Structure formats: C-alpha cells, structure tokens
C-alpha cells in the first residue's frame, strides 16, 4: 500500500509538473517525445554507469541508461592507444558482483577490459540507449522532478529527433576525461609537424625514426613515450614540475597507505575539535597524484636515455 501511495504521489507530481509548463514553452514541451521514467536516468555507459545499473537491476529498480556514443565504454574503445593496460591489479578494477576471469593477467589489456565490460552488461541485462546525447537537465524545485532533454541519432545523421525524460533522479556517469584539453602554446600554428592529443594517438608505428616531443608526464605521457621507443622513435618528455616516479604496484601501496594516514589524521583532528577541515584533507590526498605509476621497462628507457 505504501508503494502504491508513493507511485500515486509521483504521478501527481508529474502531472503538476506538466501543468505548470508555461504557455511560452507549451508547444516546445509537447513537440518532442516525452517519457516518464519511474526510476533513475543514468547518463553514461562506462564502467561507473554500468556498475550503478547493475546494482539497481539486482534490487528491481527500473532505470534507463543514455549513452551518446554507439557502444559501451566509448572512451576505452575509441579514444585510447593500442598498448593501454590497467595501471592497477585487476582485483581493484573489477565491477561489483562480477569478478574478472581467472585467466586474465594481473594487469589486463585494453581489449580484455572492454570484453569484460561487455560481458558485465550482458550478464546483468543492461541495454543502454546508444546515440542519445543529453543536451540539458533541469530540476524543478516545486515538484521535485528532473526534466532531461536529449537528441537521438548518430553524430553524422541529419535526421535527429528530440526526446524529453521526466524522472526523480539522475546519475551522471560521464567520466572525468570525456573531453580532451589541448593547450595553445606560443608558435603552435607555426609548427610544421603533426600535433595530436593523447586520445588520438594509437601507436608509434607512423613515427619510426622521428623525434617526438611528448608534453606531460602523467600515465599517458609515460606510456606513449614507452610505445614510441618500442617503434624506434626518439621521444623527448617535457614535465612542467618535478614528480616522484614509482612502479605501478608501489604506486598502489603508496596511495592506499597515504590515504589511510591522511583520513586518519583528518578524522582525529575533526573529532578533537581541530581546525583541519575536509578541504585540507582532500588537498593532502591529492598530493599523492604527483606520484606517477609507470612500468619498469619505461623506467629503464629513461635511465638508458632512450626517453630524454
């Protein structure tokens, strides 16, 4: 009875939401297809979106998953280099209630991880709505509902349609690296060679025998430099600030240990009435990001000056 009452409350709120639509946007509101979702709308079909969907599925909560690309984990499938592997052991990267296969190596390859994610979606019966891009999401304070506008259709399609979803919850799982950032350097447009972002790099095959400047020494910068060495290119690595270089497994141990120390200190200070707030705790933890996890073979190339 309680659930029936809640459903009726939601339906009444939905009706009130539509009724409050002003005459100015009345035609716009009904011109597009409008869908009521009796559960969360999940934006993004990457690892996080799939994990949330699986958790809801197991508890019988209805939902939909919207994905602007034509596949799950689109960043992994379309915007990563060929030699990419996980930087942490597989047991720390697997999603809830579905372990990675025993025959996977400790650090699975890109293709293995993509295969795992596809198996995960199939196992839980998750069917994202592909080629559907969210254009806006607005929350109505009065009725407590979200109004999510999307466009459906492939990026190069001229026949796109608009859809509007009404729901109580929205889960944003679009990832932290969804859009590439290309800084503008002095003389950028005068350089006669190729300038590409790491997400457009696939392998060093086309750079054999060439000198390549790699800007940035994060995970991607280190891996790209190693890949260029493997294809007999001559990479030069530029770092804006100093970093501490550790191997991948040491990086995990360091991060885990330091995180425990920082949060233990933060909790102690807060419970003792100290002045250390959570902002400082997060800033302290973020310091760990200056430790770059790399593979031993990449470190060897730096020592041997194959990467300069």
**Domain segments of the chain: what residues?**
2-172, 182-308
pLDDT per residue, tens digit, the chain (308 aa), is: 444 444 445 555 555 554 444 444 544 544 568 999 999 999 999 999 999 999 999 999 999 999 999 999 999 999 999 999 998 899 999 999 999 999 999 999 999 999 999 999 999 999 999 999 999 999 999 999 999 999 998 877 778 889 999 999 999 999 877 788 887 778 877 888 888 999 999 999 999 999 999 988 888 888 898 899 999 999 998 888 776 665 554 445 544 444 444 344 433 443 343 443 333 333 333 334 444 555 555 666 665 656 66
Is the CATH code 3.50.50 the one for domain 182-308?
Answer: yes
Q: What is the DSSP letter of 199?
A: G
Burial zone of 298 (CB within 10 Å; 0-12 exposed, 13-18 middle, 19+ buried):
buried
**149 Rama class: left (phi>0) / alpha (psi -120 to 50) / beta:** beta
In angstroms, rounded to a whole number, what is the distance separating the alpha carbons of residues 94 and 41?
Answer: 23
Do the domains spanning 2-172 and 182-308 agree at the CATH topology level?
yes
Is the CATH code 3.40.109.10 the one for domain 2-172?
Answer: no
Q: pTM here?
A: 0.73
């Amino acid at each position: 009875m309680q659930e029936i009452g809640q459903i009726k409350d939601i339906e009444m709120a939905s009706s009130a939401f539509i009724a409050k639509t002003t005459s100015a946007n009345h035609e716009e509101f009904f011109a597009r297809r409008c869908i009521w979702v009796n559960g969360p709308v999940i934006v993004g079909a990457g690892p996080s979106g799939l994990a949330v969907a699986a958790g809801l599925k197991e508890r019988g909560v209805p939902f939909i998953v919207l994905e602007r690309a034509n596949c799950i984990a689109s960043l992994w499938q379309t915007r990563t280099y060929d030699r990419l592997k996980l930087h942490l052991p597989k047991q720390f990267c697997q999603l809830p209630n579905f372990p990675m296969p025993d025959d996977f190596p400790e650090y699975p390859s890109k293709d293995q991880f993509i295969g795992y994610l596809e198996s995960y979606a199939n196992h839980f019966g998750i069917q994202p709505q592909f080629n559907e891009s969210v254009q806006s999401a607005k929350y109505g304070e009065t009725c407590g509902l979200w109004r999510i506008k999307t466009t459906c259709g492939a990026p190069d399609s001229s026949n796109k349609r608009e859809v509007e979803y009404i729901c109580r919850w929205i889960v944003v799982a679009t990832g932290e690296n969804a859009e590439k950032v290309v800084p503008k350097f002095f003389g950028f447009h005068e350089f006669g060679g190729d300038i590409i972002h790491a997400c457009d790099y696939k392998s060093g095959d086309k750079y054999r025998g060439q000198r390549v400047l790699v800007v940035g020494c994060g995970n991607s910068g280190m891996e790209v430099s190693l890949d260029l060495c493997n294809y007999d290119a001559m990479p030069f690595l530029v770092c804006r600030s100093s970093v501490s270089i550790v191997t991948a497994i040491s990086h995990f141990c360091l991060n885990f240990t330091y995180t425990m120390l920082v949060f233990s200190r933060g909790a102690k200070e807060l419970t003792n009435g100290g002045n250390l707030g959570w902002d400082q705790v997060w800033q302290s933890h973020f310091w760990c990001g200056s430790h770059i996890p790399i593979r031993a073979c990449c470190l060897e190339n730096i020592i041997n000056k194959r990467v300069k």
